[in-house]
Structure formats: structure tokens, C-alpha cells
Amino acid sequence: MAKKRAKRHKVRLIFFDMDGTIFNNGLTDSYGNTAPSTWTILAKHLGKKALKEEEKTKEKWTNKEYKGYLDWMEDTIKIHRKYGLTKDFFYKVINSIPYFNGVKETFFELRKRGIKLCLISGSFKELSERAQRDLKINHAFAACEYFFDERGELVHWNLLPCDYEGKAEFMRLVMEEHGLSHEDCIFVGDGRNDIPLAEFVGTSIAFNGAKELQAVTTYKINQPKGKEDFRVILKYIN
């Protein structure tokens, strides 16, 4: 059953997930309560051994063996360093991930309507910056930022707990700063990790989302793989 709204409000702010929502990462497989992401794409590009180790971190997360999302990211970063992730390689992967069809047109239309836009992701700041430039997004929060030295080696990183329950905290902060209520806002996402966000706003949209997310969202969009069109969300936004 669809999530109900008590009263229809004019939308003033829309929150978006990134991996699998606006970016088509080509992944459909998930493990436990994890969602397919750019973390997995990087591991795949680094080779079979790296991917196998990355899959083990998902198992640990699902089994609640990490204190929190920050610890999980730290473990995965060790894999990236172990298998020689470089700046050039990293940006080659980041810049290779395509948008879903209709994403740019959708964001153009939303900006034309005067709606503020916010991206909240458990993925990489570098990917969110690309989206923010291309789509003119007002606010963007991403979980991991990489720092490389002059030789292109990964030497440091900045981590933010903006995934799972942590995502909702960033959402709450942005809503408060703009003086908006839950009913003024919409969330669009695809993964299990987006459930806290979907439950925090008046209206939520699952874009080809996991069944667990669809169970709590107001609207559900399901399209054949390879025929996704992001513009369909516009019919649910007043």
C-alpha cells in the first residue's frame, strides 16, 4: 500500500539519492541490506580480488560487525589502497558513469519551477560534484572525499556519516535551514539505505527501487532495465 499524505502541499525542496537514482551504475545485485554503489564499481575495476574483499565488507555490514558507516568506509578504503587506486584511475571511473535517460531534462524543469534541489549520498564527493555542476543542484552531501598527492597516490580522505540513518540528519538540517516542513519536501531514491529518508518527508518516490524501499514510499516507479526514463517523476511533483 502506498504511503499516504495528510495534505497536498506545493513542493519547495526535493532530496535525491545519487547512485542508482540519477546515475545509472549498471548494478542490480545487492547483498543483505546494502545497495549497489560506486564503491562496488571501483572494486570491480580494481579486479576480482578487490571485488571479493569488497563483498566481504558488505557481509560484515549486514551482520552488524561495524560500529557504523564510517568504519565500513574505512575498511573499503583499505581495499582501494591495497589494490593501487590512483587519481587518474579514480576519476576515469567517476567520469564514466552515465546519467539515467531524462535526468538532465528533469532537473532543468525542476529548476524552472523554482524548486530547490539537494543531493544526499553515501557515495563519493567527486561524483556528487560532477552532478552538482551538471544539474545545478543547490546542496550536495556525499560520504567520502579522496585526496591524492602529486604522484596520484591516495594519501588521505574525508568521511561523513551520510548514509542510512545518517542521511536523514543531513536532510533535517537542510529543511531547518530553509524553514521547511516535512510536507514541503519530496525524496527520490532507489536503495534500502534510503528508507530513513523516505520516511522523513511528506512524499517519497522509489525510482526502480528495492522492494524494501517501495514498501514505505508514496509512489513507486518500475521500468524495464535499459528503458529507464527519469522524467516520469515529474508527474508526481506539483
Q: How far is CA 76 from the centre of its chain?
A: 17
Beta-strand pair 116-124/203-207:
unpaired
pTM (2 d.p.): 0.91
- The CA distances from residue 14 to 87, 106, 141, in Å, are 32, 12, 14
- CATH number for the domain whose boundaries are 13-236: 3.40.50.1000
The contacts of residue 199 (CB under 8 Å, 6+ apart) are: 168, 216
The structural domains of the chain, with segments of one domain joined by +, span: 13-236
Q: What is the pLDDT along the chain (238 residues), one digit of tens a residue?
A: 445 444 556 899 999 999 999 999 776 555 444 566 899 999 999 999 999 999 999 999 989 999 999 999 999 999 999 999 999 999 999 999 999 999 999 999 999 999 999 999 999 999 999 999 999 999 999 999 999 999 999 999 999 998 788 889 999 999 999 999 999 999 999 998 899 999 999 999 999 999 999 999 999 999 999 999 999 999 999 8
In 89-133, where do the E strands start and end? 116-124
Cβ neighbours around 108 below 10 Å, total: 12
Q: What is the DSSP letter of 153?
A: B
For residue 78, report the phi and psi dihedrals to the nearest 5 degrees: -60, -35
